[in-house]
Amino acid sequence: TLRMRVPALLILLICFRGRAGPSPHFLQQPEDLVVLLGEEARLPCALGAYWGLVQWTKSGLALGGQRDLPGWSRYWISGNAAKGQHDLHIRPVELEDEASYECQATQAGLRSRPAQLHVLVPPEAPQVLGGPSVSLVAGIPVNLTCRSRGDARPTPELLWFRDGVRLDGITIHQTVLKEGTPESVESTLTLTPSSHDDGATLVCRARSQALPTGRDTAITLSLQYPPEVTLSAAPHTVQVGEKVTFLCHATAQPPVTGYRWAKGGSPVLGARGPRLEVVADASFLTEPVSCEVSNAVGSANRTTALDVLFGPILQAKPEPVSVDVGEDASFICAWRGNPLPRVTWTRRGGAQVLGSGPTLRLPSVGPEDAGDYVCRAEPGLSGLGGGAAEARLTVNAPPVVTALHSAPAFLRGPARLQCLVFASPAPDAVVWSWDEGFLEAGSRGRFLVETFPAPEGHEGQGPGLISVLHISGTQESDFSRSFNCSARNRLGEGGARASLGRRDLLPTVRIVAGVAAATTTLLMVITGVALCCWRHGKASASFLEQKNLMRIPGSSDGSSSRGPEEEETGSGEDRGPIVNTDHSDLVLEEEGALQTKDPTNGYYKVRGVSPPAPPDSCVTSLQWKSPGISNLP
């Protein structure tokens, strides 16, 4: 019988369910909710055709199936369960209640859509830094900062008002004071106060969705101002060396606490108080005097420069310039003075004015433009100052070569040829060349080349060199050929030809020897005659003219020579060029002709006494023949 009842009951149950009506479903589901902190939150939930267990979850955590929700003191479920009402209540709402909530019919397997609970926190009254009374300085921009306080949700908006009117010029920025703490919002008001703002009231208001009307904090402005300064100088226009008095007058609130004087940015030591006396110099024109006055809230500075009259003073000398031929050259020469001096440019040794002003430009210069250029400033009104400064222009060009005079040489004796080279830039090489060869330096056979620095040449012509070609044991061909001295640099080449003069030894020696012998013999004869006449007491007697005439040959044509010993000494020497380092003139050795002249011009007339004298008389007649003259050709 039991086995027959069980299937019957199952069939009855199935039939009963089919007649029960619709399946369980939600009549009302919870929706997102925004609520203020401390108020009550209500999340509705209604089910139809369901009489089983209903529970709420908070972010996936089940709160329980009982209506009073044990363990959740601020949570409960309300409504008529028979009618399917299962509303969740939270009171008072706290920040931790902000979560996602679901209503679930567990036996029917139903879950509502998630409902987000948002908790709003009204802002507290903001804080104005420096309040409630803020001391400001008139005319100086200031930033007033208003900062929100508390954990307001959402973040509040900070506004500034004056007399109920919202102020512009506000910048807002948000900062996190410390990690893990609530955010703090700051609003900065940039304000340039004036005297009319003294005692004014400003309001900072914090408002948000949680508190649309907002909360206010008021401050009062207290205006102060730094010193207002005027600076004067008497007299304002002065000559160098005159006394000047500066007066610094100031008004301030609060009162002035100190004065500070400076000149050109550097403090004036020992200067205190509103008065300063100085002796003017040129520096006061470019280094103004300033007076700084301070009080408790700030300081103010005023500056004035004197009009100091002084003559020209050189500030920047012109620098030497070196350019290639054909290029432009320029010089800069800076003078200062008050009034501004007139600057002119000339060439040293010349009077023509080439230009005026601090800069001289010379376009496309040539070798003739090389030299020293002078910038000159005229003295000022006081007659003091002024002067000149100069700089050299060097024009780089091919070398200029000049053959120097060389002394004649003897056959088979030593000889020397010289050339003078001026070049800028300095020559790469100086070369001597002749028929069968050339030589730059050192020796080659009978030839030797030496090079020496030369005295300074023409202005701007560049450094000079003397190149000497020594020849030992001259030959006949040396006197008929030409020797070429050439030099080169990066701009070109220059050269000059030199030839060797010849000197004969024999005629010169014979002439000198004959003249010397004749002169010696003549002096001996004159001395003998004078002694004889004095001895016989006939110094006062007159000699009768005799017909005998004596001639002393000599060198009447002015030619001269050196003796054999001198020739040997001269031929044995091999001296380099003579360079006078103390002077700019070049001293070059030249061998001139030595002249030996007979003081009687070659003739003496000696006459006897007529009638003939006795045998003991002084001299009746005198005849003399020089042995040296008979040998002359």
Structure tokens at 311: 């003559």
pLDDT given for residue 250 in this prediction:
92
Instruction: Decide: 440 and 449 in contact? Cβ < 8 Å.
Output: yes
Give the chain's domains with CATH numbers.
25-120 (2.60.40.10), 122-305 (2.60.40.10), 312-395 (2.60.40.10), 405-499 (2.60.40.10)
Angular region, 263: left φ>0, alpha ψ -120 to 50, beta rest: beta
Residue 172 has pLDDT above 80, yes or no: no
User: pLDDT tens across 241-272, in order?
Assistant: 899 999 999 988 788 999 999 999 999 998 88
pLDDT given for residue 535 in this prediction:
66
Residue carrying structure tokens 């701009």 = 491
First and final CA of the chain: distance in angstroms? 197
* Per-residue confidence band for 87, with pLDDT thresholds at 50, 70 and 90: very high
CA atoms within 13 A on the CB side of 601: 1
Residue type, 217: T
pLDDT given for residue 197 in this prediction:
85
Instruction: Decide: 498 and 405 in contact? Cβ < 8 Å.
Output: no
Please state, for a pLDDT cut of 90, what percent of the chain lies above it.
37
Bond into 132 cis (ω within 30): yes
State the DSSP code for 537.
T
pLDDT given for residue 581 in this prediction:
34
* Alpha-helical runs (H) found in 188-293: 283-286
Contacts for 251 with CB less than 8 Å, ≥ 6 apart: 227, 228
pLDDT given for residue 437 in this prediction:
84
Instruction: Decide: 598 and 519 in contact? Cβ < 8 Å.
Output: yes
pLDDT given for residue 244 in this prediction:
95
Neighbour-count burial of 287, counting CB atoms closer than 10 A to its CB (0-12 exposed, 13-18 middle, 19+ buried): middle
User: Picking from 10-14, 491-495, 617-621, which range would have the lowest pLDDT averaged per residue?
Assistant: 617-621
Structure tokens at 505: 């030894």
Structure tokens at 219: 């401050």
Average pLDDT over residues 574-585: 36
Residue 457 has pLDDT above 60, yes or no: no
Phi (first) and psi of residue 431, to 5 degrees: -125, 135
Residue 12 has pLDDT above 60, yes or no: no
Contacts for 421 with CB less than 8 Å, ≥ 6 apart: 399, 400, 401, 402, 427, 430, 454, 464, 465, 466, 467, 485, 487, 494
Q: Which of 126-140, 371-385, 553-567 holds the top average pLDDT?
A: 126-140
Average pLDDT over residues 407-432: 90
Residue type, 618: C
CA distance linking residue 142 with residue 224, whole number of Å: 13
Residue 166 has pLDDT above 50, yes or no: yes
Structure tokens at 511: 């002439």
- Tell me the pTM: 0.41
Residue of 486, 483, 517, 519 lying closest to 501 (CA atoms) = 483
pLDDT given for residue 445 in this prediction:
87
Instruction: Decide: 580 and 455 in contact? Cβ < 8 Å.
Output: yes
Residue of 472, 580, 574, 557 lying closest to 507 (CA atoms) = 557
* Per-residue confidence band for 117, with pLDDT thresholds at 50, 70 and 90: very high
* Alpha-helical runs (H) found in 113-167: none
User: pLDDT tens across 283-302, in order?
Assistant: 898 899 999 999 988 889 99
Q: Other C-beta atoms within 10 Å of 549: how many?
A: 10
Residues 217, 220, 221: CA angle, nearest 5 degrees: 135
Average pLDDT score, the chain: 78
pLDDT given for residue 35 in this prediction:
94
Average pLDDT over residues 76-87: 92
Task: Pick 170 or 77 by higher pLDDT.
Answer: 77
Residue of 152, 147, 163, 144 lying closest to 95 (CA atoms) = 152
Task: Pick 559 or 53 by higher pLDDT.
Answer: 53
CA distance linking residue 496 with residue 419, whole number of Å: 8
pLDDT given for residue 181 in this prediction:
52
pLDDT given for residue 632 in this prediction:
33
CA distance linking residue 468 with residue 404, whole number of Å: 10
* Per-residue confidence band for 584, with pLDDT thresholds at 50, 70 and 90: very low
Phi (first) and psi of residue 558, to 5 degrees: 80, 0
CA distances from 175 to 148, 172, 182, 185 (A): 11, 10, 10, 6
pLDDT given for residue 536 in this prediction:
63
Residue 318 has pLDDT above 70, yes or no: yes
State the DSSP code for 507.
H
pLDDT given for residue 511 in this prediction:
67
CA distance linking residue 117 with residue 119, whole number of Å: 7
* Alpha-helical runs (H) found in 240-305: 283-286
Residue 115 has pLDDT above 90, yes or no: yes
User: Picking from 238-247, 455-464, 522-531, which range would have the lowest pLDDT averaged per residue?
Assistant: 455-464
User: Picking from 222-231, 236-245, 287-296, which range would have the lowest pLDDT averaged per residue?
Assistant: 222-231
Residue 611 has pLDDT above 70, yes or no: no
Residue 195 has pLDDT above 80, yes or no: no
* Per-residue confidence band for 509, with pLDDT thresholds at 50, 70 and 90: low
pLDDT given for residue 382 in this prediction:
62
* Per-residue confidence band for 613, with pLDDT thresholds at 50, 70 and 90: very low
Residue of 587, 567, 592 lying closest to 577 (CA atoms) = 587
pLDDT given for residue 347 in this prediction:
93
Neighbour-count burial of 152, counting CB atoms closer than 10 A to its CB (0-12 exposed, 13-18 middle, 19+ buried): buried
Residue carrying structure tokens 């700019």 = 584
pLDDT given for residue 333 in this prediction:
94
Average pLDDT over residues 188-195: 84
* Per-residue confidence band for 1, with pLDDT thresholds at 50, 70 and 90: very low
Please state, for a pLDDT cut of 70, what percent of the chain lies above it.
75
User: pLDDT tens across 340-385, in order?
Assistant: 888 999 998 888 999 999 999 999 998 889 899 999 998 766 666 7
Residue 9 has pLDDT above 60, yes or no: no
Task: Pick 38 or 529 by higher pLDDT.
Answer: 38
User: Picking from 168-182, 325-339, 561-575, which range would have the lowest pLDDT averaged per residue?
Assistant: 561-575
Instruction: Decide: 462 and 425 in contact? Cβ < 8 Å.
Output: yes
* Per-residue confidence band for 65, with pLDDT thresholds at 50, 70 and 90: confident
Instruction: Decide: 215 and 206 in contact? Cβ < 8 Å.
Output: yes
